[in-house]
Amino acid sequence: MLVSRRLLLQGAAVAGASTVLPGKAQARGKVEPLEEAVGMLYDSTHCVGCGGCVAACKEANGLPWDEPTDLSNTTRSIVKTRRLAVPLRNGEASAFVKRQCMHCVDPSCVSVCMLGALHKEGQGKRDMGGERKGTGIVLYDEDLCLGCRYCQIACAFAIPRFEWREAFPHIVKCELCRKRADPTREGALGVANPACCQVCPAGALVYGRRVDLLAEARRRMAAEPARYNGKIFGEKDGGGTQALYLAAAGVTFKELGFPDLPDGSYANASESASHAPYLNGVAPIALYAVAAYLVRRNKKAQEGAERPEEPRK
């Protein structure tokens, strides 16, 4: 046996252990919602599907009206009609759902973005101007974006869009109309002012602080328990989101097009698994030192064996 099986298995065991074991021991931890985080509450049971929010979004963001059917590089917000498997008691066979960036509490897109082009307001690698810490809004900084599109892979809600036909493309997604904020105002309207929430005529779309929106959602569910399906999507799903959703009794969020997410965030799972083996940089340095020592020793021995009559100078 020339390469001994024992050596090989030992190597594999060490490599395996160093990758897996610390991964369990060194999770990066759960990210809690920011106290002053802002978001929106969408109540599917009140939505009439007028599309006013979609038009308002287009106008507020200077995007062309192109009769959108889904999010796209020209559409940051959309209302979709979802066919239901079982019609509701009132005979309704479909339900509306508005989609836009969820402004996750612990966003995958922010976790994976190489230089922090996608970042939580005030928590990025650089300030795009007037950023306030604590809003939790996920912003896009084109000057730090390489266009790798890993955000699109990472986002469980498939929100970020890319300008495929542009030579100088951008990532496009909802930024909660931060630019429409009125700095003279106190509270949530002082940090952002989503056009969609402003125009909703049905009370289906409310903008505010996440804590207030959660309270409002609970109030609605308590007032009409038979109306709702009993779950606030985004309260915990995928580590929590700042856009919160209510749906009618008999409708699942899966039917509305949402993924089935665990309570923990994938950002946490991914970072813990990928970074833990590094032991804060100790592992690579140790590995390098061991490798350098072994290579030096073995290389010398091998060269000595190859050229016995030619001692190295």
78-137 residues near other proteins, rule: CB under 8 A? 108, 111-116, 125-126
- The smaller minimum CB distance to other proteins, of residues 37 and 71, is found at 71
Q: Is 16 in the site for other proteins (CB under 8 A)?
A: yes
Which of 209, 260, 218, 267 minimizes the C-alpha distance to 239? 267
Q: Is 164 in the site for other proteins (CB under 8 A)?
A: yes
- Closest distance between other proteins and the C-beta of residue 131, in Å? 16
- The smaller minimum CB distance to other proteins, of residues 162 and 212, is found at 162
Nearest 5°: CA angle at 100, between 96 and 102?
110
Q: Is 299 in the site for other proteins (CB under 8 A)?
A: yes
Q: Is 6 in the site for other proteins (CB under 8 A)?
A: no
- The smaller minimum CB distance to other proteins, of residues 20 and 93, is found at 20
Q: Is 292 in the site for other proteins (CB under 8 A)?
A: yes
Q: What is the amino acid identity at position 46?
A: H
Distance of CA 310 to the CA centre of its chain: 62
- For the chain, the C-alpha Rg in angstroms (whole number) is 26
Give me the numbers of helices (H) and strands (E) for the chain, helices first please. 8, 9
Q: Which stretch binds other proteins (CB under 8 A): 32-40, 132-140, 201-209, 295-303?
A: 295-303
- The smaller minimum CB distance to other proteins, of residues 226 and 305, is found at 305
Among 21, 48, 259, 263, binds other proteins (CB under 8 A): 259
Among 199, 211, 221, 287, binds other proteins (CB under 8 A): 287
Question: Could you tell me whether strands 243-246 and 78-83 are parallel, antiparallel, or unpaired per DSSP bridges?
Answer: unpaired
Q: What is the amino acid identity at position 33?
A: P
Q: Is 306 in the site for other proteins (CB under 8 A)?
A: yes
Q: Which residues pair with 98 in a beta bridge?
A: 79
214-to-38, 202, 306 alpha-carbon distances in Å: 11, 19, 74
Q: Which stretch binds other proteins (CB under 8 A): 30-38, 64-72, 212-220, 222-230?
A: 64-72
Among 26, 51, 275, 279, binds other proteins (CB under 8 A): 275
Helix (H) or strand (E) holding 225: none
Q: Is 27 in the site for other proteins (CB under 8 A)?
A: no
Q: Is 49 in the site for other proteins (CB under 8 A)?
A: no
Q: In sequence order, which residues have a C-beta less than 8 Å from that of residue 282 and are 6 or more positions away?
A: none
Q: Which stretch binds other proteins (CB under 8 A): 41-49, 97-105, 157-165, 245-253?
A: 157-165
Q: How many angstroms separate the CA atoms of 295 and 300, rounded?
A: 8
Q: Which stretch binds other proteins (CB under 8 A): 35-43, 45-53, 212-220, 300-308?
A: 300-308
Q: Is 14 in the site for other proteins (CB under 8 A)?
A: no
CB 152 within 8 Å of CB 160: yes
Q: How many angstroms separate the CA atoms of 135 and 108, rounded?
A: 17
Q: What residues between 189 and 248 interact with other proteins by CB under 8 A? A: none
Q: Which stretch binds other proteins (CB under 8 A): 39-47, 87-95, 195-203, 297-305?
A: 297-305
Q: What is the amino acid identity at position 142?
A: E
Q: Which residues pair with 171 in a beta bridge?
A: 162
